[in-house]
Amino acid sequence: MSNRHKPVPYSLWEAQQARIVLAASKRLNWRRWTLPEQVEHLLSLYGPLPLIEARLGEQSALTAFYRHCLHEKQGPWRDQCAGLLRGLAQKRTELLWRPELAPALAAVAKCMPHRCRQLADWHPRSRNPFRQLESLVRHLFDQYGDVPAWLINSWTAGRLHDGLDVAALTVHLGRGEALRTFPGLPVPLSRKTEHYLRLAPAGYTFLHALRYAQLAARDQLGWLGPVLDSRLGRCLGRDDEFWLRVVDFFAAAPMVDPYQLGPVCDWIHQKRTVGLGDEQAQPGFSLKGRSMHSLLAHTAQWHQHLSQAARRPPEPSLTLSTSWEPLPVPDFAGGGKFPVRITQLRTYGELLTEGRSLRHCVASYLDACRRGRSGIFSLTLNGTRTVTLEVQANRTVVQARGLFNRRPNDEEALWVQRWAAHNRLLVPRHLLS
Work out the percent of the chain whose per-residue pLDDT is above 70. Answer: 92
Nearest to 44 by CA among 85, 87, 95: 85
Stronger pLDDT, 404 or 395, i.e. the higher one: 395
Confidence category of residue 129, pLDDT binned at 50, 70, 90: very high
Contact 169, 184 (CB under 8 A): yes
Q: Report which of residues 120 and 274 the model is more confident about.
A: 120
Q: What does the alpha-carbon distance between residue 430 and residue 375 come to, in Å, rounded to a whole number?
A: 20
Arithmetic mean of pLDDT, 88-112: 91
Model pLDDT, residue 393: 85
**Rounded to an integer, what distance in angstroms lies between the CA atom of residue 417 and that of residue 427?**
8
Residue 253: pLDDT over 80: yes
- What is the predicted pLDDT for the residue at 310? 47
- Burial annotation 139-171 (CB, 10 A radius, 16+ → b, else e): bbbbbeeebbbbbbbbbbbebbebbbbbbbbbb
Residue-wise pLDDT for 339-353, tens only, equals 999 999 999 889 888
Task: Say if CB 253 and CB 279 are below 8 A apart.
Answer: no
pLDDT of 354 above 70: yes
Residue 140, pLDDT > 80, answer yes
User: Cα–Cα–Cα angle for 152, 158, 164, nearest 5°?
Assistant: 70
pLDDT-based confidence at residue 19 (cuts at 50, 70, 90): low
Residue 1 pLDDT class (50, 70, 90 cuts):
very low
CA angle (392, 158, 115) in 5-degree steps = 145
Q: What is the average pLDDT value for the chain, to the nearest integer?
A: 86
- The residues facing 334 across adjacent strands are 340
- Please tell me the distance from the alpha carbon of residue 248 to that of residue 310, in angstroms, as a whole number: 36
- List, in order of start, the domains of the chain with CATH numbers: 10-141 (no CATH), 224-307 (no CATH), 332-432 (3.40.630)
Q: Is the pLDDT of residue 28 over 70?
A: no
Specify the amino acid at residue 128: N
The pLDDT assigned to 314 comes to 54
Give 391's strand partners: 375, 397
What pLDDT, on a 0 to 100 scale, did the predictor assign at position 304?
77
Confidence grade of residue 26 (pLDDT, cut at 50, 70, 90): low
